[in-house]
Amino acid sequence: MTETERLQEMLSESGAHLQGHFCLTSGLHSANYLQCALLLRFPAFAAFAGEALARRLEPFRPDIVLSPAIGGLIIGHEVARALDVPFLFCERQEGVMTLRRFPHPGPVSFVVVEDVITTGGSSLEVGSLIEQGGARWVGTGCIVDRSGGSHRLPGALHSLWGVRFETWSPGECPLCAQGLPLVKPGSRV
């Protein structure tokens, strides 16, 4: 079994791959939603994903791992543990990502790690913030890449599973037309 196949099995076992009618952070609707927190609540699954992602990011030789809160907290920490480097996270304060709990790391090399990337907006925010202080963004990784290659991130995106679920604008959503209840599980506030 490949790492991707094992990850898909874990997503299913943990209930992290949800099916229904969802309003994504982007405002688009989808019949699929990945709630990686359900996967990462199991330490063995989190360790598996962190070690697998660390193997993909290790060639970049980062000095630190950086993640946006909340989605990147557990997986970012697991990747940093596997790489044996410090872990920092940014969080929203008045709608803007800030490095609230840590001093700026200075001119280090870093990777950004997140659970799921669709557009890359949160990763781009935290990476750009740390670059402003002289750090060098050397790579980006995630458990699941939902971008289909259309993310806004600099450089290649390294993921454990690349998948593209169909999405619709609210006015064209067949699930809305069927009258299915809409759920908004996203975390951006």
- pLDDT, tens digit, 9 for 90 and up, residues 29-75: 999 988 899 999 999 999 999 999 999 999 999 999 999 988 899 99
Whether residue 163 lies inside any domain: the answer is yes
Task: Look up the pTM and report it.
Answer: 0.87
Note down the domain range covering 50: 3-177
What's the DSSP call for residue 97?
E
Contact (Cβ atoms closer than 8 angstroms) between residue 87 and residue 68: no
CB 182 within 8 A of CB 168: no
- Establish if 189 belongs to a structural domain: no
Determine, yes or no, domain membership for 185. Answer: no
21 in a domain, yes or no? yes
pLDDT tens digits along 90-149: 999 898 899 999 999 999 999 999 999 888 889 999 999 999 989 999 999 999 998 888
Backbone phi, psi, residue 30, to 5°: -150, 155
- Check if the beta carbon of residue 153 is closer than 8 Å to that of residue 183: no
Half-sphere exposure of 3 (CA within 13 A, CB side): 16
> How many separate domains does the chain show?
1
66 forms bridges with which residues in the sheet?
88, 112
Flag whether 72 is in a domain.
yes
In this structure, what CATH number is given to the domain that contains residue 161? 3.40.50.2020
The amino acid present at 37, given as its one-letter code, is A
Q: How many C-beta atoms surround the C-beta of residue 3 within 10 A? A: 16
Of the pLDDT bands very low, low, confident and very high (cuts 50, 70, 90), residue 189 is very low
In a domain, residue 184? The reply is: no
